[in-house]
Structure formats: C-alpha cells, structure tokens
Amino acid sequence: MWLEYEENTTDEARFCQAIDKLDPIIHSIFKKSDWRANKFTEKRLREEKEKYFIDFPTIIDLFNKLVKYAKDNDYFIE
C-alpha cells in the first residue's frame, strides 16, 4: 500500500495524496504569521498543491475557498 501511495498509481492513492496536501493548509489557516514568515505566495501554493486536487471537485473547491480566504486576509507576501 505504501508503494501504491508513493507511486500515486490508483484513485485511492491520489485521494490520499490530495488529503495529505490539503491537511496542512487547513491546520494553518488561522496562523497568518506562519504563512508570512514562510513567504507563501498564491502562485507558490498553487504550484505545489493544486495538481493534487484537480481530480477531486470537492477538494479543489475547498482549496480555492481557503486560497481566497488567505488572499482576502493578506496571508500572501505578494
């Protein structure tokens, strides 16, 4: 199962990867100082994470809402 996850070869593995990539965003959404200290930009966040969410409409929708919240509240250094 671990190799399946690492190789991202099944729907289940892609789903697990998506959840793993979304989890830290959710956990840090109210820690604006962390985002700014780590110099996050919307572009960087999208480049690093968005590709994992494309196959999952509900997850990409949540991701976009979190990005909007971060943008509206000046989390990004842009």
pLDDT tens readout for residues 11-64:
999 999 999 999 999 999 999 999 999 999 999 999 999 999 999 999 999 999
Find out whether 28 and 34 touch, Cβ atoms under 8 Å. yes
* Domain coordinates in residue numbering, the chain: 15-72
Find out whether 50 and 10 touch, Cβ atoms under 8 Å. no
pTM here?
0.89
Q: Tell the residue number behind the tokens 């919307």, with chain if given.
A: 42
Instruction: Return the DSSP state at 77.
Output: -
Q: Tell the residue number behind the tokens 């190789």, with chain if given.
A: 7
Q: How far apart are CA 74 and CA 76, in angstroms?
A: 6
